[in-house]
Amino acid sequence: MARAGLLSRVWRGLYLVPPRLPLGGKWSPDEALALSALMTSQEARYQVCGPNAFNRYGFDDQVPNRVYAYNDRISGERTVGAVALTLIKVDTKRLGETEDARTADGLTTLYSSRARTLVDAVYDWSRFNGLPRAFEWIRAELAEERVGAADLVRITLRYGDVGTIRRIGALLDRKGVPDTLLRRLLRALKPTTGLIAWNPVRPRRGTVDRRWGVVWNDRA
């Protein structure tokens, strides 16, 4: 029946069945139902992230052809019906800072929040092709006051790594964010003479920012 498109396999022994078959006799769950069913079956915590969140908040107008989700159980690609999923297993401590998105069918899907999505675009830049686009998104969000600098600092400290703290700290410094917030980021950094590139996809040549250990190798 699954091969005939009459139901959709979620996991071994677990299938989704439509309340009624559509015209043509083939059926697939929507993205929210497919992801929710899979995560529930594995007792997993999750949140939709990356390209799906970029599109949700208007950072990127490209509609992804698959669903990206952080979760604490499964890693790899899965398919439920016609829905393609990229599942990124993370430590449970890296899950959080979410908001609900309700579908027309009444299902609730957890998305990374607006500010968390910006931080993840810097943190997970190689996976999501987040840089240097994320720097422009952060500038625009701060300018329009859709995201506050204090929230960015808090979320960066909780969910970022050293590279994320350095890059976001350097950006906020150039935006003139109060030093009281910048010092919170600086306290999380250990003294080092090592440098990282502001834009990691370009050669590491440019002006050196010793405060943040960043090489300004791109337009900033």
Q: What is the pLDDT of residues 32-58, one digit of tens each?
A: 988 998 999 999 999 999 999 999 999
> What's the rounded Cα separation, in Å, for the pair 169 and 165?
6
Enumerate the domain spans of the chain. Answer: 1-112, 130-220
33 or 27, greater pLDDT: 33
Residue 85 has pLDDT above 50, yes or no: yes
Q: What is the pLDDT of residues 135-163, one digit of tens each?
A: 999 999 999 999 999 999 999 999 999 99
> What's the rounded Cα separation, in Å, for the pair 171 and 212?
10
pLDDT at position 2, please?
Answer: 43
pLDDT at position 117, please?
Answer: 98
Local confidence band at 171 (pLDDT 50, 70, 90 cut-offs): very high
| For range 19-37, the mean pLDDT | 75
Q: What is the pLDDT of residues 89-127, one digit of tens each?
A: 999 999 999 999 998 878 899 999 999 999 999 999 999
E runs forming strands in the chain:
8-11, 14-16, 46-48, 67-71, 76-80, 83-89, 98-102, 108-112, 196-197, 207-209, 214-216
Residue 3 has pLDDT above 70, yes or no: no
> What's the rounded Cα separation, in Å, for the pair 138 and 141?
5
| Lowest-confidence pick of 21-30, 116-125, 172-181 | 21-30
On average, the pLDDT of the chain sits at 90
